[in-house]
Amino acid sequence: MFGPAYKGIPLCLTTAIALKNKFDIDKNYSFDRKEAKAHGDKGKLVGYNLQDGDGVILLDDVMTTGQTKVDTIEELKT
């Protein structure tokens, strides 16, 4: 599961927690930041490190134009 910054992050995390608590299903999750950090958990992506061939469920709050989805998919391809 992937939650794009910012509002997709809590949706992704709460979905992962609910799947585990309600159905005992472990799913990897990750999310991005708008800017990479130079300290602590460095980088732009947090959580599971996506691998080539992984399927991804994108969780976001609103799908008005779909631009966040398009931008996120392009970012994940790199």
Neighbours of 34 (CB within 10 A): 8
Query: The tokens of 28 are what?
Result: 């990897």
Just list the catalytic residues: 37, 39
**Residue 31 corresponds to which tokens in the numbers above?**
């999310």
Amino acid in the structure at residue 54: D
